[in-house]
Amino acid sequence: MANELDYLATLARSGRLSRRDFLGRAAALGIGASAAGTLATSAFAQVPVRGGVLRAGISGGESTNTLDPALNLSHVMFNFCKQWGEFIVRLDREGGVEMMIAEEMNPSSDGLTWTIKVRSGIEFHNGKTVTAEDVAATIARHADADSQSGALGILRGITDIRVSGNEVICTLDMPNADFPYIMADYHLVVQPNGGHDDPNAGISAGPYRVVDNEPGVIHTGERFENYWQLDRRGFADRVEILVINDTTSRTAALRAGQVHIINQVEPAIIDLVSAVPGVNIEPVDGKGFYPFNMFCNTAPFDNYELRMALKYAVDRKEMLDKILRGYGSVGNDSPINAAYPLFSDDIEQREFDPDKAADHYRRSGHSGPIVLRTAEVAFPGAVDAAALYAQTCAEAGIEIQIQREPDDGYWSDVWNVKPFSLSYWGGRPTQDQMFSTGYISTADWNDTRFFNEKFDQVVFAARAELDQDKRKSLYRDASEIIRDEGGLIVPFFNQTIDAVNGNLVDGYLGHPQGSVMDGYALSECWLKA
């Protein structure tokens, strides 16, 4: 209860919760009216402090990074775009959708048309007013195959986009109740003319405007004084993201006070980091997972028997305990876990079985070493995870040759390029979005090269199904197909683990959608006076 009250107090201080809502939610926790009133008075008496420079040390940055939000691949650019970019909608902490540039979003009675009413009075960093035409152009650019957008896969169902006054009207090829969640995708930063003119300009309508952009080094924003919600975010005068891919260096920067927030704290050093005076460890359950990806269309992984051998050869429980130190949950070779509302928990859990792995390996006819590529930047503990996997594979007579790759360039040269590598996914708001982004045949981020017509048909059927029980059953089928036929090995789902200097920073609220408050920490936290 104490954690929930702290959460409510932080929402109140940052202007994200009204007094009435505070009292109502406190009552729901069993707090008496008098005590709730006292807590409310204390919470609302405190206000965020404005000023100063708020810094984060973030891993996952490369010299090849670009400001074009269509090409966002890793933590650094994901976090930076949440500072300078503004979105049509965003995901709230409870799993719902919060209206941003969209004032309203409503479906037609048949679910084939969605109307987005664009809020008036929002200004781009270049002084231009955000219009419905800009929103429409943004959606259209990311839905264009030539954009190479990471959102392309989830936008393919849009057949027409038109503007009527201050409304954007999107027509779909089939009903989709998840359309508002699609619009929350982190690639869909609203830009002037949708970014068609210059997608790398770093101009949007977010709380900070870009003043320094050195890929692989540092990204800086200064508060945009005409931001439409300065009462709720944009408290620091300046925000800085320092690219610190090395875990030791990132932790040292936090200890030395060079940064206020870091991401991807390795479970193995949590006790060490938490011992630093004032530092708070912020683990949050969510949908993120750390996969081993095999290309199903590339030898030797186009061999079903070999894929099954490699799946039975992973000891998920041991890997969770030794690599994540229990900060997560066991995976089952599907990208979907209990954090999704339509998750089915009755799919048989795949267990480590070296005998079955050896039998499948024998039937595969394969011999010789199998190259597995990894880097520290893949996920916290990735190199150790690869080594542990090689040991359990050896018990089944499978030789894994680990090839350690440079951190810089891993996401451009290895992930989704090489046929067997380690990676991470932050999950997506809904099952349909996760499947459509990474696993249907047309998905641009299909990093297992899984092309399965039956799977596609099940996903499309679930998307159009309005009966929730039937939809849940279809998603169960989809998860089982990936588990049994795909190229995905999911040893575990991870908690996102950030560390924050609580002596210097206030307003931090863990977000189940992703680390660093789903990327919004720098714009929604503040430095204490």
- Integer CA distances (angstroms), 35 to 3, 41, 42, 260, 272, in order: 16, 10, 11, 33, 37
Specify whether the CB–CB gap between 499 and 266 falls below 8 A.
no
Which pLDDT tens digit goes with each residue over 237-280?
A: 999 999 999 989 999 999 999 999 999 999 989 999 999 999 99
* Domain 292-494 homologous superfamily, CATH: Dipeptide-binding Protein; Domain 3 (3.10.105.10)
pLDDT tens by residue, 89-107:
999 988 889 999 999 999 9
Q: Does domain 206-283+496-527 have CATH number 3.40.190.10?
A: yes
pLDDT > 60? residue 115: yes
The Cα 198–Cα 209 span in angstroms is: 16
Asked if 204 and 125 count as a contact pair (C-beta separation under 8 A), the reply is yes
Contact 12, 22 (CB under 8 A): yes
Q: Where in the chain is the domain with CATH 3.90.76.10?
A: 86-195
Assign 466 a pLDDT band (cuts: 50, 70, 90): confident
Q: What pTM does this model have?
A: 0.81
Residue in this structure with the two tokens 């590598």, named with its chain if needed: 421
Q: Please give the single-letter amino acid code of residue 367.
A: S
Predicted confidence at residue 406, as pLDDT, reads 95
Q: Range(s) for CATH 3.10.105.10 in the chain? A: 292-494
Query: For residue 14, what are the β-bridge partners?
Result: none
Distance CA 242, CA 249 (A): 11
Instruction: Give the pLDDT of residue 369.
Output: 98
Per-chain mean pLDDT for the chain: 92
Smallest Cα–Cα separation from 378: which of 465, 291, 445?
A: 291
Residue 33 confidence (pLDDT): 61
- Work out the number of other CB atoms within 10 angstroms of the CB of residue 436: 27
In DSSP notation, 3-44 reads HHHHHHHHHHHTTSS-HHHHHHHHHHTT--HHHHHHHHHHHH
* pLDDT(24) > 70: no
Segment 133-150 shows an average pLDDT of: 94
Looking at residue 402, what is its pLDDT?
A: 98
Contact 382, 375 (CB under 8 A): yes
The pair of three-digit structure tokens given for residue 153, joined into one six-digit string: 């896969």
pLDDT per residue as tens digits for the range 29-45:
666 666 655 565 555 54
Three-state SS at 435: helix
Phi, psi of 209 (to 5 degrees): -100, 145
Is the pLDDT at 186 greater than 70? The verdict is yes
Instruction: Give the total residue count for the chain.
Output: 529
Position 159, amino acid: T
Q: CA triplet 387, 391, 396: central angle to 5 degrees?
A: 140
Least confident of 3-12, 146-155, 363-372, 398-407: 3-12
- Look-up: residue for tokens 């619009």? 183
Backbone angles phi, psi at 468, to 5 degrees: -65, -35
Q: CA 68, CA 88: separation in Å to the nearest integer?
A: 17
Residue with tokens 């993201």, as numbered in its chain: 241
Closest CA to 419 of 387, 449, 382, 378: 449
What is the model's pLDDT at position 344?
96
Tell me what pLDDT residue 93 has. Answer: 86
pLDDT for 94:
84
- Architecture of the 86-195 domain: Alpha-Beta Complex (3.90)
